[in-house]
Amino acid sequence: MTSPRTTELDGVTVTWRVDAGVVRVLHVRHPHGPTTFRSPPTLAECIDLIPRELWVQIRYQYEQSRNDW
């Protein structure tokens, strides 16, 4: 499990971490309010909760971090 990371785009902030090679979303903050999960969903399960561009940015950051190992 990695340390939590935060990615932001257009006022939407997502806090996420990698757990056993899977991106887990811990928290989403929209301008209208936050969403916190009891059991962190995968990034794929959040496709409708966050803007597509932000989803792609998180996926890219994850892939780049894998290349750094």
* Average pLDDT of the residues in 43-64: 95
Q: Kindly report the CA angle at 16 between 40 and 51, in degrees rounded to 5?
A: 95
Flag whether the pTM goes above 0.85: yes
Token pair listed for 14: 């997502």
- The percent of residues above 90 in pLDDT, for the chain, comes to 75
Per-residue pLDDT reduced to its tens digit, 36-45 = 888 999 999 9
* Average pLDDT of the residues in 27-43: 91
Sign of the CA dihedral running 11, 66, 38, 46: positive
User: Around Cβ 65, how many Cβ atoms within 10 Å?
Assistant: 12
1: pLDDT strictly greater than 90: no
Cite the DSSP H helix spans in 1-69: 52-67
